Structure 1
Amino acid sequence: MTAPLLHVTDLHAGYGKAEVLHGLNLKAAAGSVVTVIGPNGAGKSTLLNALMGVLPARGHIAYRGHSLVQQSLEERVMQGIALVPETRALFASMPVEDNLRLGAYRQLRLGAKNSDASLERVYTLFPRLRERRRQLAGTLSGGERQMLAVGRALMGQPALLMLDEPSLGLAPLVVRDIFATISALRSTGVTILLVEQNARAALEVADYGYVLEMGEIALEGPASALASDPRVIDTYLGAARAKAAA
């Protein structure tokens, strides 16, 4: 059996003395989309920040068969791990294309001559960004900012792309486009770890899912199985249906 690209065991992380994650276990196969759903405060963003090296953590994080525990955030970036945070963290006073080219830092450090090929791939994936390439990032719509944040991460050609609440604050039609893009990325071979409160959309696009509650994995399984699990339906999907009907 092929080893997973990412294998997390007994992960503990938090803020100061306040532990948020309590012995979490998680796997992501290469080329798959894995989602982590759960309520606010469950520890979803904490998980991504711990994996990225933003937060200190205890436990074992294996990436491509090697431990990340002693590696810094910068070293993890150079290993091919990228995080698109909930805040998007764009340079608002810089044009779209400059924001994108900054994302090519890893590839240039690895010896790429320039970032034009990566830029063209991102523009093919997000034609709107090509149209807005000279526009300041701070003047973009919410959906365009999310496209730019994902595009910038892809400029480094990561093997593992982690997305923190990509649908947050976006209109339903824009959310649909973002998740269509996530689905399309699967064919490029990138592994996606998706943290998302929109459980229905996340489970529709994912191969495997985890339900995180109070810092622990409450349920896990193939995304299609979770989508039909009565507890998931009652707690997450039922609420989504009621909201949609309102």
Structure 2
Amino acid sequence: MAAPLLEVRDLHAGYGRAEVLTGLNLQLAAGQVVTVIGPNGAGKSTTLNALMGLLPARGQVLFDGADIADTTLEERVMLGLALVPERRELFGTMPVEDNLVLGGYRPMKLRIPKWRDGLDRVYGLFPRLKERRTQLAGTLSGGERQMLAVGRALMAQPKLLMLDEPSLGLAPLVVREIFGIITQLRAQGVSILLVEQNARAALEVADHGYVLETGEIKLHGAAAQLAGDPRVVETYLGAGRSRASEPASVHVA
């Protein structure tokens, strides 16, 4: 069996003296979409920020066969990690296309041939960005800004794309569009770690899921089976769905 692309062992992280993650463990195989769901304050964004090197952390982070726990943010970017943060962090006074080109810093630095061809791929996924390529990023709608943030991350040709609450603050129609793009990326073999409060949508597009509560993984298993687990249904999906018996392959951490 191939080694996981990402394996996190006993990860502790937080802000100052306040520890948020208290021994987190998770795995992601190449080509998988893995989602981490949970309530506000559970530590979902903290997980991504720690993995990206934005927060000090303790524990093992194995990425593509190497322990990257002591590497810097810049080193992790060059190794192939890309994060789309919750706040998107676009350059609002720059045009859409300039934002995308800046996302290509990694392949440019690595001298990957024809890295600018990534623009065509992004415009294929997000035709609206092509229409607005000369428009300032700060003038885009919320959904368009999210598309631009994802597109900029894809320009880095990442080995692992990490998405922090991509549906946050978006209208339902736009949320469906964003998750449709995640489904397309999954079909193309893009490895994705998805942190999301919209548990229903996340479990529909993911291969595997983790339920994070108060800094610890409480449940994990195949996404389809988690979606039928009574505890997940009651807490995250609404009690209106049928309550199938607990699937055997859903693991209590």
Secondary structure of the residue that 1:30 maps to in structure 2?
coil
1:113 Cα deviation (Å)? Answer: 4.9
2:140 matched to which residue of 1?
Answer: 140
Give yes or no for the alignment of 1:172 onto 2:134: no
2:47 matched to which residue of 1?
Answer: 47
1:28 Cα deviation (Å)? Answer: 0.3
2:196 matched to which residue of 1?
Answer: 196
Contact 1:198–1:240 (CA under 8 A) maintained in structure 2: no
Q: Once the two structures are superposed, what CA deviation does each residue of 1:180-204 show, in whole Å capped at 9, x if it has no partner? A: 1001001222210000000000000
Letter in 1 for 2:60: H
1:31 matched to which residue of 2?
Answer: 31
Give yes or no for the alignment of 1:122 onto 2:113: no
Pick which of 226-235 and 186-195 moved more: 186-195
Q: Once the two structures are superposed, what CA deviation does each residue of 1:91-124 show, in whole Å capped at 9, x if it has no partner? A: 0000000000000000000003554301111001
1:244 matched to which residue of 2?
Answer: none
Contact 1:13–1:22 (CA under 8 A) maintained in structure 2: yes
Runs of 5+ unmatched residues, structure 2: 242-253
TM-score between the two structures when normalised by the length of structure 2: 0.93
Contact 1:101–1:115 (CA under 8 A) maintained in structure 2: no
Q: Residues of 2 paired with 1:187 and 1:234: CA distance?
A: 30
1:237 matched to which residue of 2?
Answer: 237
Letter in 1 for 2:23: G
Contact 2:104–2:116 (CA under 8 A) maintained in structure 1: no
1:220 Cα deviation (Å)? Answer: 0.3
Q: Residues of 2 paired with 1:92 and 1:129: CA distance?
A: 14
Aligned length: 241
Q: Once the two structures are superposed, what CA deviation does each residue of 1:165-191 show, in whole Å capped at 9, x if it has no partner? A: 000000001000000100100122221
Over the aligned positions, Cα root-mean-square deviation in angstroms equals 1.2
2:225 matched to which residue of 1?
Answer: 225
Q: Residues of 2 paired with 1:41 and 1:72: CA distance?
A: 25
Q: Residues of 2 paired with 1:103 and 1:169: CA distance?
A: 24
Letter in 1 for 2:190: V
Secondary structure of the residue that 1:179 maps to in structure 2?
helix
Contact 1:200–1:240 (CA under 8 A) maintained in structure 2: no
Q: Residues of 1 paired with 2:129 and 2:80: CA distance?
A: 23
Q: Residues of 1 paired with 2:218 and 2:192: CA distance?
A: 21
1:239 Cα deviation (Å)? Answer: 7.0
Pick which of 180-189 and 33-42 moved more: 180-189
| Paired residues for 1:206-225 under 5 Å | 206-225=206-225
2:80 matched to which residue of 1?
Answer: 80
Runs of 5+ unmatched residues, structure 1: 242-246
1:70 Cα deviation (Å)? Answer: 1.2
TM-score between the two structures when normalised by the length of structure 1: 0.96
Q: Once the two structures are superposed, what CA deviation does each residue of 1:46-76 show, in whole Å capped at 9, x if it has no partner? A: 0000000000110000001100111100000
Secondary structure of the residue that 2:238 maps to in structure 1?
helix
Contact 1:37–1:199 (CA under 8 A) maintained in structure 2: yes
2:111 matched to which residue of 1?
Answer: 111
2:131 matched to which residue of 1?
Answer: 131
Contact 2:95–2:137 (CA under 8 A) maintained in structure 1: yes
